[in-house]
Amino acid sequence: MSFDEQLSDKTAYINKTIKGYLPKKEGFQKTIFQAMNYSVLAGGKRIRPLLMQETYRLFGGKGKEIEPLMAAIEMIHTSSLVHDDLPCMDNDEYRRGKKTTWAVFGEDMATLAGDALLLYAFEVASKAFEMSCDPQKAGRAIHILANKAGIYGMVGGQVVDIEATNTKIAKDKLLYTYRLKTGALLEASMMAGATMGGAKEEEIRAMERIASDIGLAFQIQDDILDVTSSIEILGKTTFSDEKNHKTTYVTLEGVDKAGKEVKALSRRALENLAQFSDSNHFLYQLIEMLITREK
């Protein structure tokens, strides 16, 4: 089976898994369920649950205990996008080729939907305790998700990102923002997958370093696409960073140098991944595809 066929099958499986954990759209508060489900089901490559699943398998994991954590990481990621798109943040009306959550449900309900997804993610993740034969692994994986999603991870990166609006920042601060805002959830995905798969501590840390390089390369590639792509191809507003007066790797270093950095980071990540004797070939190809994507 080709990589594209495998990717299609695995993505379909993940979409079915995620959908199974979403709340039913009923009750007096059903509007929040509608907004949550709209946000999560609006599309996307499911990068984070894919990385989690394949890293889990890299270390010998074979059960369904990983599924609630896969759904949870996508909910956490989606919650950040819902908030990112709000008028008080990036003020974007399109995401993945569709109207953003606030543009459909209003700013108030979108704010609540983002909050709800973040909280509901951990309610879903906690189901791993009853599905795993080793609850300690589940506890460690959930702790990783919480740490990487919070003030020392994604949220912390968003704080620095917001404060950088209308301000030119130094390269080291920009890269710090990228490692937290984008890289942290990719690190969480691979670390939690490795944990649930039974990896040793040093192997979990190796996954963290690999994911950090992937996240940085992914975000720099995103900067490149923001100025070289179009809304038809990318599925979201282009030149968003310029509109919001944000410093990016491209504004600091230019497109050519940014492209070279993406290649250097991806090469290092793939070389480090290849050191694992039972390396998952699909995972290797997936990382290559993510970093060199054109949309």
Q: What's this model's pTM, rounded to 2 decimal places?
A: 0.91
pLDDT at 41: 95
**CA atoms within a 13 Å half-sphere pointing along the CA-CB vector of 64:** 6
Residues β-bridged to residue 215: none
Question: Which amino acid is located at 156 in the chain?
Answer: G
Number of domains the chain contains = 1
Termini Cα distance of the chain: 24
**Domain CATH code at residue 250:** 1.10.600.10
Instruction: Look at residues 227, 228, 290, 218 and name the one whose alpha carbon lies nearest to residue 261.
Output: 218
CB 254 within 8 A of CB 279: no
**pLDDT tens digit string along 107-144?**
999 999 999 999 999 999 999 999 999 999 999 999 99
pLDDT at 234: 46
pLDDT at 232: 45
pLDDT at 167: 85
Residues in the chain: 295
* Structure tokens that stand for 253 in this block: 């270093």
The parts of the chain modelled with pLDDT lower than 50 are: 231-237
pLDDT at 276: 82
Q: How far apart are CA 200 and CA 99, in angstroms?
A: 43
| Non-local CB neighbours of 130 within 8 Å, separated by 6+ positions | none
Domain span holding position 137: 3-291
Q: How far apart are CA 164 and CA 157, in angstroms?
A: 11
Residues β-bridged to residue 98: 95
pLDDT at 289: 86
